[in-house]
Amino acid sequence: MKKTKQTEQISKVEIEEKSGVFQKLLLWVLIPLLFTTALILILAKFADVNVFDKAKELSGDLPFISEKKQDNPVAGDLVLEERVVAMQAEIQEKEAQIFKVQQDLDKSADENERLLIEQEKLLDEIAVLIRDKDDSKKVFNEIVTTFEQMSAKSSAPVITKMSDAEAIRVLTNLKSATLASILEKMSPEDAAKYMSMMTK
């Protein structure tokens, strides 16, 4: 009986020792490992990282898994075809953008050319106007010189027949002696009219 009690105690101690090793393994390795894994998953969730996608990417680098991928060439061809189609669509989009930019450049070049032609026309018109102004000034100076050389008796009736603006323009450009002699030969009303116009 003592032996059975002793063997029972020994077997209890052995069971306790075995269960103690399992408990120690559970307490010191598995529970912290599970806790660390849970903590990493929570942190990954907050950081917007998909752990399972990352695991798939990393597993693609493993030799025995990548061999399995190579065993399925149809899936690889489909992925390549999709990439080719996507790239062709992108190329067409870029070509459309280039075409639009080229059209804009052509349009602006045409507009610049039109503006240059218009500028040349305006410069020609300005040159003609300056020439006409110089010519008219020259003609006017000749008219004034003619009035200077005419007698006051002859020039007074001619000036009274001119428009008021032309008469004032001629009278203001005459020498004062010639002006005085012309005004003397006019009627007092005309002379007063021209004098008051010249003083304004």
Least-confidence region, from 52-61, 144-153, 160-169, 175-184: 52-61
What lies within 8 Å, CB to CB, of 187 at 6+ separation is 160
Task: List, for residues 65-96, the tens digit of each pLDDT value.
Answer: 555 545 556 677 788 888 899 999 999 999 99
Q: Is the pLDDT of residue 182 over 80?
A: yes
Closest by alpha carbon to 198, among 170, 158, 160? 170
User: Residue 14: its pLDDT value, please?
Assistant: 63
Q: What is the largest CA-CA distance in the chain?
A: 177
Q: Average pLDDT over the chain, rounded to whole?
A: 82
User: Residue 23: its pLDDT value, please?
Assistant: 75
User: Residue 107: its pLDDT value, please?
Assistant: 92
Rg (CA), the chain: 56
Q: Is the pLDDT of residue 18 over 70?
A: no
Q: Is the pLDDT of residue 41 over 90?
A: no
Q: What is the pTM of this model?
A: 0.38
The whole-angstrom separation of Cα 142 and Cα 136 is 10
The CA-atom distances, in angstroms, between 84 and each of 73, 89, 135 are 16, 9, 76
The CA-atom distances, in angstroms, between 193 and each of 13, 152, 163 are 147, 18, 13
Count of CB atoms within 10 A of residue 1's CB?
5
The whole-angstrom separation of Cα 151 and Cα 145 is 12
Question: What value, to the nearest 5°, has the Cα angle with vertex 19 and ends 18 and 20?
Answer: 90
DSSP string, 26-81: IIIIIHHHHHHHHHHHHHHHHTT--HHHHHHHHHHTSHHHHHHHHT-HHHHHHHHH
What residue segments make up the domains of the chain, in order of their start? 1-71, 150-200
Task: Work out the average pLDDT over 101-123.
Answer: 92
Q: What are the b/e assignments for 65-85, b being 16+ CB within 10 Å? A: eeeeeeeeeeeeeeeeeeeee
